[in-house]
């Protein structure tokens, strides 16, 4: 039997129309209704109709991506699939917690709301930013950033070889980006207003720490490979302590993918878009990588697992 590693996408994977066919499934519609009631806006209309400007807003994009990923996961679960491991990129790590039974749907949704608001308010507008760096090694980028470390300017995402995201305080970030260009790198500023996954998220980590004191994480049903450590964890205590630390720590996606590939036969992205599939292929070219973003792909990837039909 194949050993699957399932990965869940983060912000940036949203697109208008995502999850539309899933809404015909009563169980899925119930999740969207629950989210709409909690968030105070029609999440099914937002996902399926947009407009794209509204869907792109962090406070909408994050719960929307989680919703579609969670809806797809309910159908994967009905097919009897038990992954060898799971992981999620940034926001997607919370989806991984939900998939592994560490958090309930309502708890994950509440956490996403608190986390998004806390990260959004951690940096005043125009104070910080992020940029993708391509064409330079991790070692070269780290060397260029050393003079700006105290600003802080740090590596936020180790996405794949040749694509590293840096994060930090302006104008030091701009000076660092200029230095990275001079070193031969291609630098693309990202349309975000904060220095995510950096020490500048310390206040967000404090908010999450307080929030987590009101919650109780459960043992994971299967290992979750954490962004900040790239290690596989099932311990409820470790998982609870991880969430406030995750927002101030780098996303070590290259190491995460290597861990997943060493323990699975296939890596499956579950959620909207193909971002993680592209990153995984650049990290591990040998392991098969597939995506499940609709029912047809769900049937194609998992349908023969135990002969169960897709629930609708």
Residues marked active site are found at 90, 197
CA distance 243 to 195: 17
Pairing of strands 85-88, 4-8: parallel
Nearest to 80 by CA among 1, 23, 7, 24: 1
Contact 235, 199 (CB under 8 A): no
CA distance 69 to 272: 7
What DSSP assignment string belongs to 263-278?
A: T-SEEEEESSSSHHHH
Virtual torsion, Cα 108, 109, 110, 114, nearest 10 deg: 100
């Amino acid at each position: 039997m194949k050993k699957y590693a399932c990965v869940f996408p983060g912000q940036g994977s949203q697109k208008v129309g995502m999850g539309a066919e899933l809404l015909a499934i009563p169980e899925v519609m119930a999740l969207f209704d629950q989210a709409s009631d909690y968030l105070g806006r029609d999440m099914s209309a937002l996902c399926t109709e947009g407009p794209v400007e509204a869907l792109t807003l962090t406070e909408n994009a994050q719960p929307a991506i989680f919703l579609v990923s969670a809806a797809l996961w309910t159908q994967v679960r009905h097919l009897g699939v038990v992954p060898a491991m799971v992981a999620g990129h940034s926001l997607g790590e919370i989806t991984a917690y939900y998939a592994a039974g560490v958090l309930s749907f309502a708890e994950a949704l509440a956490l996403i709301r608190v986390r998004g608001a806390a990260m959004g308010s951690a940096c005043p507008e125009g104070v910080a930013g992020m940029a993708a760096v391509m064409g330079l090694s991790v070692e070269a980028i780290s060397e260029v950033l050393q003079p700006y470390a105290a600003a802080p300017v740090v590596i936020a995402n180790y996405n794949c070889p040749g694509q590293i995201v840096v994060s930090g305080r302006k104008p030091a970030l701009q000076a660092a980006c200029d230095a990275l260009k001079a070193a031969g790198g291609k630098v693309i500023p990202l349309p975000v207003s904060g220095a995510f996954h950096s020490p500048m998220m310390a206040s967000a980590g404090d908010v999450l720490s307080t929030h987590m004191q009101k919650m109780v994480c459960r043992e994971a049903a299967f290992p979750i490979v954490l962004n900040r450590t790239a290690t596989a964890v099932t311990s409820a205590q470790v998982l609870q302590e991880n969430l406030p630390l995750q927002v101030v720590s780098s996303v070590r996606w290259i190491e995460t993918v290597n861990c997943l590939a060493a323990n699975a036969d296939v890596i499956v992205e579950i959620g909207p878009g193909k971002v993680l599939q592209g990153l995984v292929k650049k990290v591990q070219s040998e392991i098969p990588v597939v995506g499940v973003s609709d029912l047809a792909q769900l049937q194609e990837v998992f349908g023969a697992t135990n002969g169960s039909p897709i629930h609708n």
